[in-house]
Structure formats: structure tokens, C-alpha cells
């Protein structure tokens, strides 16, 4: 087993343990388990970072080319934002109940796509692609954190009052949670826009078309519209409370489709295994 | 009547309906294969699964949702609605700016300060010097208005969305789509006959320009057996001026509004076939169109003859071994198989500059070069689209960095001191804005100071 693979496995196991700790903390009302989960995530995150560095060192390039690399770096970005949120607002640790399973499943999926790092082919040699991919990671991270915060809000705003020993008692009040969710959505909305714009510019320079209604393009637009609706519902229509939180949670489906759904699309320019075909061998069509 | 139409067309409700419809269509486009993306044979196979479903799909144009007339109507309505909503917002903000609050809302933050109203107002004005002071019978109101950049950012973002739709229309009307194949050393004018195919001509303006484009040399760089860089040295003649420009994948050649996007390459073979009577039966470059593990292959016909050509970049690699670096021209060789009326006349390997006789017929291989396929695009809507992207991104940044907000402090005399209420009139949040927080902090400090 290579060092990169070993570090990857340590990270995956770490996120698995942290997921169990968060779930147990919420189920058994133990604040200490939530606290412990954060430190386990820190350790797993360090291992994942080293795994990325190991791949980077081996291939001599940033890991953004293959599906496996995108999942690896994408989950890294999601955990980074998660850690920033929980260190800045420690009371929000419970969002791990959404973020960590998402990360764990993504890494599990990445394992099925794992491959040795290959040289970077001409279609991937673009500044715009680099920007596109980095902003895609930031988008996934922001929206996942927003959905996590919205879930806590939903759990806290149930009709049945929280028991005295519930760990959710220690989370920020609902108004504060709404603010944090909104801020995360706003950030996600911005980076999502940059992701779409940079992807369009790259697509034009590579394929001569800035928009082709490709399934991933379509889902990223849908997600952007869904979070745009979230913001209009709050700012223009004055919505508050669970129905707004449900939009933040529901719109995460779009992120799932962008992140994983492409694999099930009949055809897509975002299937990285297909893209490498350009500039190798081929005939006039 | 016109007021009702204006109200409906500029309503957030219509925007919600249109965006929800658009979202539903986007989901539908994921479920129903789109002919722009799916290969024709797969599309036909899918439609054959259920004739009834195929009828519905074809009748409602669901196989090309994004180019159907009703999608365009939807987008047109959305553009109109967005424009009217934005205009309405600008009007409403103007009214909001000029209107002083008539009452203190319930959610306002309140405090009693043991200071007279005039002294308190003076203290508060030091915190927010730009506040507009309005006196009324009940007391004094300080109005702080901030977030002009945020407001115009929001307008800019919505204008960007409208600009994207405008750009889309301009693109549809002005786009040029073609494919061109150039061999090393070949130069052609920008004319219909120079293209392999032209799939879209602009509905407005000329489709072709007054220039020639050629490819001097094509080089591919390998790492292992993978192409890691490919550079085409292009030669352009435009308006009497000549220049050499490099084109790469992702970095197209741009000339006279057209982009030449490098796609893929193969081998071009200069072939001459002579009859036993020394008559020329074939004399031209042949772009070998098919890639195979043995090299680039194609078959050309010359009368009752058929010549099958397989070009390999390195003669030292045995024929039974697959080609690894197909574009790295080392010591090229062409495997020739000659047939007459489908009967084989012979086969042999010929290097550039060489020839071979096959039962009286002579096959000459003059040269082996690389051809490159370019997608050629022109799109006058592109600049509008890029500008729209910039407007959207800048607009969102401004919107959230400096949100549009109104803060108020109402001071009235009460019990030997003053009653003060602080609140905001921002839609962003009821959490106090920066100015409100500064006012509340100062009031708290004043209370503590006076209490001491």
C-alpha cells in the first residue's frame, strides 16, 4: 500500500469515527462526544491533507484532473469549511451530523474510482479550469455547511421542546443559526457564480461553446437558482423559520447531483474519463 | 388595466412561477435525453423504446428543450420580469429614502438614558455624523442610510442576468460554427470551401472574412505515452499583414473575430498512384481519418483501384506492436495495401520519398505530415456574456459586503431623561447593522456613565 493510500484510509476511518461520535453525542446527549468528534476530524483532515500532498508530490501537479482527485480535494474543502465554522462558532459542532456522513460517503465513492496519478493532458492545462475547480470545491463546502446549519435549526425548532440535557441546547439560538445559514448560502451563491462563469469561459476556449446544457451545467444552474430562491425568499418575501431551512436542506440535492450525479448521466462533458480523449488520437469527423 | 398588467409582470410571484418552471424544465432535460448532447443513434434507440412516449417527446419538443419556442418565450418573460422588478426596486428605494419612519416598530431595541434629548442627540450624532436629523412633535429621529453600493450591487447582479439572456440571443443570431482540417504546410482562405463542415452561419453579418490561415508545423510533446502539450504554429495573412501565431488546446488562434480551437491530429500522407502506362491515377494529400493501434489508417479509391494506407510514426517499431506515440514523427513509414476490384495486388512499407511497384502500378509516398482538426467559432454574444458574468460576480460581492440598510434612532423626552429606540429597516436581517450596534454601544456606555 502506498503512503498516499495509507493516509487516505486513515482519513476515511477518522471521518467514520467522527461521524459515529457526532451521531452518538446527539443521540445520547453527550456534549463531550461532540467535542471529541471535532478533534478526530482535525486528525483525519491532517491525514487527508498529507494524502493530497503525497499525490501532488508524485504527479507534480495539483490533484484536480480525475474523478478520484476531485472527490479527494472536494471533501478536503468541505471539511476545511466545516472546521472553520466549528472553530469560529464552537456551538455549531452538531452540523457534523450532515457534513461528516456526506464526506464519508464521498470518500467511499472516491475509493471505487481510485487510480494512479496520470500526466496532465492538454485539455486540463487551463487557468480557467483551475479557477473553475477550486470554486466548485468552495461551492460544495459552503452549501454543505449551510445545509448542516439548517438541519440544526430544524431540530431545534421542532414543536416538541428540547429536553434539558439535549446537546442542542448549547447550539446558537435559532436567529443566530439563520444568520449563519444565510451567510453560508450567500458565500456559496457567490462562489457558485464564479464556478459557473469560469467553467463557461474554459468551455468556450476548449469546445467553442460557453453553455451546452450539459447535465452538470444544468444541475449547477438549478442549484444556483434554488439558493437564489432561498435568498429571495428571505430578503424579498421575508420568509423565516423551518420552511426556509428546508429549502437550504433540499437544495443540497443539487450539490449531490453535481458531485455524484454526473456519474449516472448518459453523457456529459464533465465525465473526466472522457475528456482526456482530446488531442490524443482521432480522425476528422 | 395597464396598471394590473404592470403589477403582474413586475411581481415577485411571476418571478417565482417562471423560475420554478425553468427549474422543472431543467429537471426534465436531465430525464429526457437531449439531442444536442446524445449521439443520434443512441437518441433513436431511446425513442424506439416507446412510440407513445416518443410521440409526446417529439410533439412537445422535449428532445431539444433549450431550443424550443416555448422555452424562448419563458426566457423572454423572465427577462421582462427581471427588468421590471429591478425598475420597481429602484423606484421603491427612492421612496424609502425620502420617507421618514412614522412609528417605532415593536422589535426596536429600547433604553432609558438619564440625559436630556438634545444632549443625547448630540452624543449620538458623534457616533454617526452623517445621520439625517428630523424633528417632530414626539421627539427627534436620526436616520442613517447606508449600503448604496450594496443596493446598486443587487441591481448590477440582476442586470447581469438580463445581460446573459441578451447575450444568448445575440449569440444565437451571430454565431459561426465550422470545422477545418489543416495539414502542415497547408494554407487556405476563410471561405466556405475551406471548411470540412459549416453547421451554423450568422443570421446577421458576414460568415467569412478576408484572411487566410495556414498551419506551418504541429508538434506534440509526450510524457510516457500521453500527450501533455500540443502546439500548432499557425500562419495568418490578414489585410496584407502576415504573422505567425502559436495555437494550443485551450489557447485558440484568434483572427478577425474567429477562434480556431485545436482539437485533434492525425497523419496526412502525400500519395501518388501511377498506372502501368505511367498515367497519374491519384495525386493528393490524404488525411488518414481513422486511429487504430497500428497507426492512422484510411482507404482511397482511384478508378478500380483501392489503396489502404496505414501510417506509423516510427519505422523501427515492428508492425505487430501497437503505436504508442502516434503524433511524435520520428522515422515515418506507410504500410500500403493495393487492391483492384477487391482483389489484392500486393502490400509493402514505403518511407517518405520512396515508391513501390505492385503488378505494374506504382505507389509513391511523397511525404507524411500531421493534420490538425480545428473547431472554428465566432460569437458576437460572447463579450456580452463575459461582461454579464463580471456584473453578476461584482454585484453579489457588493450586495453582501455593503448591504442596503437603514438604521434609525428615535429620541423622546421621558422621566427627566430620554427614551431612545434603535432599529433597522433592512430586509437582510433584524440583527442590528454596524451603525445600529455602534449606537446601541454608545447608549449603553452613556447609561453606565450617568449611573456612576
Interatomic CA distance for residues A20 and A23, integer angstroms:
5
Q: Which has more confidence, A276 or A144?
A: A144
A128 contacts in B (CB within 8 Å)? Answer: 250
Q: Which of B72, B264, B397, B403 to mutate to test the interface with A (most CBs of A within 10 A)?
A: B264
Residue of A125, A207, A212 with shortest CB distance to B36: A212
Q: Compute φ and ψ for A159, nearest 5 degrees.
A: -65, -40
Share of chain B above pLDDT 90, in %: 47
How does pLDDT run across B205-261, given as a tens digit for each residue?
Answer: 889 999 999 999 999 999 888 888 999 999 999 988 999 999 999 999 999 999 999
Same domain, B260 and B284: no
Model confidence at B136: pLDDT above 70: yes
Specify whether B190 is located in the same domain as B236: yes
Q: Which residues contact B20 (CB under 8 A, 6 or more apart)?
A: none
- Percent of chain A exceeding pLDDT 70 equals 92
A197 contacts B296? CB cut-off 8 A: no
Average pLDDT over residues B277-284: 93
Least confident of A109-113, A166-170, B107-111, B116-120: A166-170
What is the pLDDT averaged over residues B10-23?
Answer: 85
B310 touches chain A (CB under 8 A): no
**Over the stretch A86-109, which tens digit does the pLDDT of each residue have?**
999 888 898 999 899 999 998 998
pLDDT of residue B353: 95
- In this structure, the answer to whether residues B117 and B242 fall within a common structural domain is no
Domain count, chain B: 4
pLDDT at A255: 84
Q: Give pLDDT, residue A274.
A: 45
- The residue assigned the cell 433540499 is A250
Question: Across the interface, do A267 and B38 touch by the CB < 8 Å criterion?
Answer: yes
By residue range, what is the domain housing residue B427? Answer: 107-147+403-451
pLDDT of residue A281: 34
B157 in a domain, yes or no?
no
Distance between first and last Cα of chain A:
43
The answer to whether residues B227 and B308 belong to one domain is no
- Name residues 379-398 of chain B within 8 A of A (Cβ): 379, 382, 385-386, 389-390, 392-393, 396-397
Cell digits of residue A34: 461532540
Section B139-160 average pLDDT: 89
The more confident residue out of B410 and B435 is: B410
**Which of B94, B120, B138 is at the close of a domain?**
B94
CA A234, A239, A240, A244 dihedral sign is negative
For the segment A165-191, the average pLDDT, to the nearest whole number, is 88
Say if B154 falls within a structural domain: no
The size of the A-B interface in CB pairs under 8 A is 168
ipTM at complex level: 0.86
CB contact under 8 A, A278 and B264: yes
Interface of B with A in 187-206 (CB under 8 A): 196
Would you say residue B115 lies in a domain? Answer: yes
- Chain B residues within 8 A of A202 when measuring between CB atoms: 250
Average pLDDT over residues A44-59: 94
The DSSP code sequence of chain A is --HHHHHHHHHHHHHHHHHHHHHHHHHHT-HHHHHHHHHHHHHHHHHHHHHHHHHHHHHTS-S-SSHHHHHHHHHHHHHHHHHHHHHHSGGGGGGHHHHHHHHHHHHHHHHHH-----PPPGGG--HHHHHHHHHHHHHHHHHHHHHHHHHHHHHHT-SSPPPTT-GGGGSPPHHHHHHHHHHHHHHHHHHHHHHHHHHHHHHHHHHS-S----HHHHHHHHHHHHHHHHHHHHHTS---SHHHHHHHHHTHHHHHHHHTGGGGSSS-TT-HHHHTTTTSS----
* Contact residues, chain B, for A281 at CB < 8 Å: 264, 266, 291, 296, 326-327
Q: What is the pLDDT of residue A271?
A: 60
Chain B nearest C-alpha distance from A237 (Å)? 8
Give the three cell numbers for residue B433.
447593522
The reply to whether B417 and B351 lie within a common domain is no
pLDDT at A276: 39
Residues of chain B with C-beta less than 8 angstroms from the C-beta of A201: 386, 389
Q: Are residues B237 and B385 in the same domain?
A: yes
Inform me whether the C-beta atom of residue A60 falls under 8 Å from chain B C-beta atoms: no
Do the chains contact at B250 and A221, CB–CB below 8 Å?
Answer: no
Model confidence band, residue B406 (pLDDT cutoffs 50, 70, 90): confident
Interface test with A, best of B11, B24, B26, B41 (most A CBs within 10 A): B26
Share of chain A above pLDDT 90, in %: 49
Measured between CA atoms, the residue of chain A closest to residue B178 is A208
**Shortest CB distance from B249 goes to which of A122, A204, A232?**
A122
Q: What is the pLDDT of residue A280?
A: 42
Confidence (pLDDT) at B29:
82
The Cα-based distances of A70 to A16, A145, A196, B196, B421 in angstroms read 20, 19, 17, 36, 52
Domain-wise residue ranges, chain A: 1-118, 121-271
- What is residue B430's predicted lDDT score, i.e. its pLDDT? 53
Which residues of B fall within a CB distance of 8 Å from A58? none
Q: Select the residue of B12, B29, B230 nearest A237 (Cβ to Cβ).
A: B12
B223 interface with A at CB cutoff 8 Å: yes
CA distance B361 to chain A (A): 28
pLDDT band at A30 (very low <50, low <70, confident <90, very high): confident
Distance (Å) from the C-alpha of residue A241 to the closest C-alpha of chain B? 13
Q: Final residue of a domain: which of B342, B359, B390?
A: B390
List CB contacts (< 8 A) between A205 and chain B.
Answer: 250-252, 259, 261
Selected residue of B27, B30, B398 to mutate for chain A interface (largest A Cβ count, 10 A): B30
**What average pLDDT score do residues B433-439 get?**
81
Mean local confidence (pLDDT), B300-312: 93
> Does A191 touch chain B if contact means CB atoms closer than 8 Å?
no
Q: Which of B38, B373, B393 sits opposite A266 (nearest CB)?
A: B38
Q: Is residue B304 part of a domain?
A: yes
Q: Which of A125, A233, A284 to mutate against chain B (most B CBs within 10 Å)?
A: A284
Pairwise CB contact (< 8 Å): B264 & A222: no
What sign has the CA pseudo-torsion B68, B71, B77, B79? negative
Instruction: State yes or no: pLDDT of A282 exceeds 50.
Output: no
Q: Measured between CB atoms, does B430 come within 8 Å of chain A? A: yes
3-class DSSP state for residue B128?
Answer: coil
What pLDDT is recorded for position A18? 96
Task: Please determine, for residue B348, whether its predicted confidence score (pLDDT) is greater than 90.
Answer: yes
Examine the domain organization and report whether B314 and B359 are in the same domain. yes
- C-beta atoms of A213 and B34 within 8 A: yes
Amino acid at each position: 500500500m502506498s503512503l498516499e493510500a495509507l493516509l487516505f484510509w486513515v482519513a476515511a476511518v477518522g471521518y467514520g469515527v467522527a461521524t459515529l461520535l457526532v451521531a452518538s453525542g446527539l443521540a445520547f446527549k453527550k456534549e463531550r462526544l461532540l467535542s471529541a468528534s471535532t478533534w478526530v476530524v482535525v486528525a483525519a483532515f491532517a491525514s487527508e491533507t498529507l494524502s493530497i500532498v503525497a499525490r501532488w508530490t508524485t504527479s507534480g501537479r495539483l490533484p484536480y484532473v480525475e474523478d478520484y482527485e476531485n472527490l479527494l480535494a472536494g471533501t478536503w474543502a468541505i471539511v476545511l469549511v466545516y472546521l472553520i465554522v466549528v472553530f469560529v462558532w464552537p456551538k455549531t459542532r452538531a452540523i457534523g451530523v450532515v457534513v461528516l456522513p456526506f464526506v464519508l460517503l464521498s470518500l467511499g465513492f472516491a475509493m471505487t474510482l481510485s487510480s494512479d496519478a496520470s500526466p496532465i493532458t492538454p485539455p486540463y492545462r487551463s487557468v480557467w479550469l483551475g479557477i473553475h475547480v477550486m470554486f466548485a470545491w468552495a461551492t460544495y463546502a459552503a452549501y454543505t455547511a449551510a445545509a448542516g446549519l439548517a438541519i440544526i435549526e430544524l431540530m431545534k425548532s421542532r414543536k416538541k421542546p428540547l429536553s434539558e440535557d439535549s446537546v442542542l441546547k448549547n447550539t446558537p439560538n435559532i436567529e443566530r443559526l439563520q444568520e449563519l445559514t444565510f451567510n453560508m448560502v450567500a458565500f456559496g451563491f457567490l462562489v457558485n457564480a464564479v464556478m459557473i462563469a469560469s467553467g463557461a469561459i474554459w468551455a468556450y476556449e476548449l469546445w467553442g461553446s460557453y453553455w451546452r446544457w450539459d447535465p452538470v451545467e444544468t444541475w449547477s444552474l438549478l442549484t444556483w437558482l434554488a439558493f437564489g430562491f432561498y435568498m429571495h425568499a428571505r430578503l424579498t418575501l421575508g420568509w423565516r423559520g423551518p420552511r426556509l431551512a428546508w429549502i437550504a436542506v433540499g437544495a443540497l440535492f443539487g450539490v449531490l447531483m453535481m458531485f455524484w450525479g454526473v456519474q449516472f448521466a448518459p453523457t456529459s462533458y464533465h465525465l473526466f474519463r472522457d475528456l482526456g480523449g482530446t488531442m490524443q488520437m482521432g480522425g476528422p469527423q | 388595466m395597464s396598471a394590473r398588467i404592470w403589477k403582474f409582470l413586475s411581481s415577485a410571484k411571476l418571478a417565482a412561477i417562471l423560475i420554478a418552471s425553468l427549474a422543472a424544465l431543467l429537471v426534465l432535460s436531465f430525464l429526457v435525453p437531449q439531442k444536442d448532447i446524445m449521439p443520434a443513434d443512441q437518441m433513436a434507440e431511446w425513442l424506439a423504446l416507446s412510440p407513445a412516449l416518443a410521440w409526446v417527446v417529439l410533439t412537445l419538443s422535449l428532445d431539444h428543450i433549450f431550443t424550443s419556442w416555448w422555452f424562448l418565450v419563458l426566457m423572454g418573460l423572465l427577462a421582462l420580469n427581471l427588468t421590471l422588478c429591478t425598475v420597481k426596486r429602484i423606484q421603491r428605494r427612492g421612496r424609502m429614502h425620502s420617507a421618514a419612519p412614522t412609528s417605532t416598530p415593536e422589535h426596536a431595541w429600547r433604553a432609558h438614558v438619564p440625559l436630556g434629548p438634545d444632549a443625547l442627540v448630540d452624543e449620538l450624532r458623534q457616533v454617526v455624523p452623517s445621520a439625517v436629523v428630523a424633528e417632530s412633535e414626539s421627539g427627534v429621529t436620526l436616520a442613517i442610510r447606508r449600503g448604496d453600493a450594496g443596493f446598486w450591487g443587487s441591481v448590477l447582479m440582476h442586470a447581469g442576468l438580463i445581460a446573459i439572456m441578451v447575450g444568448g440571443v445575440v449569440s444565437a443570431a451571430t454565431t459561426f460554427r465550422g470545422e477545418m482540417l489543416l495539414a502542415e504546410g497547408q494554407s487556405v482562405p476563410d471561405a466556405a470551401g475551406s471548411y470540412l463542415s459549416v453547421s451554423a452561419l450568422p443570421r446577421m453579418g458576414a460568415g467569412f472574412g478576408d484572411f487566410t490561415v495556414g498551419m506551418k508545423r504541429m508538434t506534440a510533446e509526450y510524457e510516457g505515452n500521453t500527450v501533455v502539450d500540443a502546439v500548432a504554429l499557425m500562419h495568418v495573412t490578414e489585410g496584407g499583414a502576415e504573422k505567425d501565431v502559436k495555437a494550443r488546446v485551450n489557447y485558440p488562434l484568434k483572427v478577425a473575430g474567429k477562434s480556431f480551437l485545436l482539437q485533434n491530429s492525425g497523419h496526412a500522407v502525400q500519395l501518388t498512384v501511377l498506372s502501368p502506362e505511367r498515367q497519374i491515377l491519384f495525386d493528393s494529400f490524404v488525411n488518414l481519418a481513422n486511429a487504430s493501434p497500428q497507426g492512422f489508417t484510411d482507404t482511397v479509391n482511384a478508378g478500380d483501384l483501392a489503396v489502404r494506407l496505414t501510417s506509423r510514426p516510427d519505422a523501427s517499431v515492428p508492425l505487430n506492436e501497437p503505436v504508442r506515440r502516434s503524433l511524435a514523427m520520428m522515422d515515418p513509414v506507410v504500410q500500403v495495401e493495393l487492391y483492384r476490384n477487391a482483389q489484392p495486388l500486393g502490400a509493402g512499407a514505403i518511407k517518405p520519398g520512396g515508391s513501390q511497384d505492385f503488378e505494374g502500378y506504382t505507389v509513391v509516398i511523397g511525404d507524411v505530415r500531421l493534420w490538425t482538426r480545428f473547431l472554428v467559432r465566432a460569437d458576437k454574444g460572447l463579450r456580452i456574456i463575459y461582461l454579464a458574468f463580471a456584473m453578476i460576480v461584482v454585484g453579489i460581492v457588493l450586495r453582501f459586503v455593503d448591504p442596503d440598510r437603514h438604521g434609525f434612532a428615535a429620541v423622546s423626552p421621558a422621566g427627566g431623561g430620554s427614551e431612545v429606540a434603535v432599529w433597522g429597516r433592512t430586509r437582510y436581517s433584524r440583527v442590528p447593522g454596524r451603525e445600529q450596534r455602534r449606537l446601541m454601544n454608545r447608549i449603553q456606555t452613556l447609561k453606565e456613565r450617568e449611573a456612576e
